[in-house]
Amino acid sequence: MSFEFPALIILIVSFIGMFLIIFRKIPVLLRLPEAIQEPPKDNFLLKLKEKIKNTPTFQSFSTGVFLQKILSKIRILSLKADNKTFIWLQRLREKAQKKKAKENNNYWEEIKKSTNLKGRKK
């Protein structure tokens, strides 16, 4: 309840602000001219596009098949990257385990040395 009331006030004030902005901008929007159509592009580009479409290799071109090939290649690359990072992570974990085991062995050796030293001093 404590968060709902301020949130409700903010929501109402936001809606009022939006309506005020829209109400102020409606006359400006009405005065704007209709969308101007762009002049046709160079005939050279259109002719080139048509020639490319009419070549035998591109007549059988399918965007769906092209998209499938691109996505499968991206998937393969991501799987290779995932495999490589997995190998790196595995090596790092092995190094950390070896380091921890070595530190653990050193710990017990240090305790043995310290107990031997205390026993000899007496």
Question: Looking at 19-120, which runs of residues are DSSP E strands?
Answer: none
The pLDDT value recorded for residue 72 is 96
Q: What is the pTM of this model?
A: 0.41
Q: Which residues of 38-54 are buried (b: 16+ CB within 10 A; e: fewer)?
A: eeeeeeeeeeeeeeeee
d(CA 71, CA 93): 32
DSSP 32: S
* Residue 3: predicted pLDDT: 75
Q: Please report the pLDDT score of residue 62 as a whole number.
A: 79
pLDDT string in tens for the chain (122-residue length): 577 888 999 999 999 999 999 999 998 888 888 777 766 666 777 888 888 888 877 777 778 888 999 999 999 999 999 999 999 999 999 999 988 888 777 777 777 777 776 656 54
Q: Where are the domains of the chain?
A: 1-32, 70-122
Contact at 8 Å (CB) between 53 and 59? yes
pLDDT of residue 94: 95
